[in-house]
Amino acid sequence: MLEKSFGLLFFLRKPKNYTSGPIPIYLKLTVDGLSKELSAKRKCLAADWNAASGRLTGRKESVRELNYYLDSLEQKVYQAKRKLIDNDQEITVDAIKDVLTGADEHKIMILEVFEDHNKQMKALEGIEYAGNTIVRYETTMNHVRSFIRWKYLLDDLDIKKLDYEFIDQFCFWFKSVQKCNHNSTMKYLSNFKKIVLTCVKKRQLTADPFSDFKFSKKPVEKIALTDDDLEKISKKQFSSDRLDRVRDIFLFSCYTGLSYADVEKLKSSEILRGMDNELWIFTRRQKTHSRTRVPLLPEAKVILERYKDNPKCLNSGLVLPVLSNQKMNSYLKEIASIAGVSKDLTFHIARHTFATTITLNHGVPIETVSKMLGHANIKQTQHYAKLTDKKISDDMRDLNLKRGIAID
């Protein structure tokens, strides 16, 4: 609906108890006889003001800049009016004011966007996303919340406030306040970047605040058990069934290369005869859903046989009575201490042990290892391929034998 009358006027308003100095400039909007006054957020001297034109007089650079600012503000008023007309909205002084101040727009908040993303992930748990992945994004969202409170003293922040400084300070906060190492910081920021890029694609953000941010990872030495470590753990007699069970499940992973999540969900129906008539594992990785096919080594077969009549396994159809990852890792530290293994034992070491000590160090080609680990390409497997001192020693011993050199 069009207005009957429209007026726009800039004027000076002296504050109470005014004596001298610059006076605030105001904008008066009038629509159909109703008026609203808005601060122009600028000041000038009364002697420089021309009330008839609603502008300053003079040729100084400061005068030209202020007049240009008032021209731009006037233009914004007419743009706001056009926006209301285009959206078939009634033109009133309040409506124009709301457009000018942004009150007519629904602010998109960072944590709201993140929460919506996580809810969608949760709805697809077990279909497209593993439980651990969902937990990782929940943790990242909580870090974003804590950072906003630390940096901005707010419970949430308009997504339009996202810029390079936000990302740079977020990185600093992880390392200084949270005491995160460099690689953990990069992982959290990478998770957050996924949310940000979604906003860019939806045009909720005009630019990617990560565009100038450099992601990097520092190399980390992967820990694997040696043959001697495996022997110590496998032959050690423990005083509790609990430790025996955790030890067996851990060793099963060492001899199959399955991650904790994959061992936890492994079903009896996924243990089948392969093309060689031997027992194989035929499953999909929980993390990537890629196919994994692993022939069972004798040590793994013995462990499966040990738990074939376990009540929990019989009721669930699972091959092993796996505890929570937190409990498993806690008990593994106890097992390492009792067995005399100096390494900081965690379940993930088992997968690395399979890749290096069990397979690569015994001459299994990296292509075969990659396939058994369920990797999409060889590049994912290459970081496991660092040779141990023992492998180097064995290879050089073989070289000396071939050269006919006596070995002490």
- What pairs with residue 68 in β-bridges? none
Per-residue model confidence (pLDDT) at position 292: 87
Question: Cα separation of 328 and 333, whole Å?
Answer: 9
Name the burial class of residue 182, with classes exposed (0-12), middle (13-18) and buried (19+) by CB atoms within 10 angstroms of its CB: middle
Query: Over 70: is that where the pLDDT of 142 sits?
Result: yes
Per-residue model confidence (pLDDT) at position 256: 94
Residues 303, 271 contacting (CB under 8 angstroms):
no
Token readout for 287 is 């993390």
For 110-201, CATH number? 1.10.150
pLDDT band at 385 (very low <50, low <70, confident <90, very high): low
Per-residue model confidence (pLDDT) at position 114: 95
pLDDT band at 5 (very low <50, low <70, confident <90, very high): confident
Per-residue model confidence (pLDDT) at position 392: 72
Sheet with 279-284, side-by-side order of all strands: 271-273, 279-284, 291-295
Architecture of the domain delimited by 227-397: Orthogonal Bundle (1.10)
pTM of the model: 0.60
- CATH 1.10.443.10: which residues of the chain? 227-397
Name the burial class of residue 317, with classes exposed (0-12), middle (13-18) and buried (19+) by CB atoms within 10 angstroms of its CB: exposed
pLDDT band at 280 (very low <50, low <70, confident <90, very high): very high
| Burial state string for 194-208 with b = 16 or more CB within 10 A and e = fewer than 16 | ebbeebbeeeebeeb
Per-residue model confidence (pLDDT) at position 178: 94
Residues 319, 335 contacting (CB under 8 angstroms):
no
How does pLDDT run across 91-125, given as a tens digit for each residue?
889 888 888 877 656 778 999 999 999 999 999 98
How does pLDDT run across 27-79, given as a tens digit for each residue?
999 999 899 999 999 999 999 999 999 999 998 999 999 999 999 999 999 99
- CATH 1.10.150: which residues of the chain? 110-201
pLDDT band at 318 (very low <50, low <70, confident <90, very high): very high
Torsion of CA 355, 356, 359, 365, to 10 degrees: 90
Question: Cα separation of 174 and 184, whole Å?
Answer: 9
Question: Cα separation of 270 and 259, whole Å?
Answer: 15
Q: Which helix (H) or strand (E) holds 3?
A: none
pLDDT band at 213 (very low <50, low <70, confident <90, very high): very high
- What pairs with residue 271 in β-bridges? 281
pLDDT band at 133 (very low <50, low <70, confident <90, very high): confident
Contacts of 244 (CB under 8 A, 6+ apart): 238
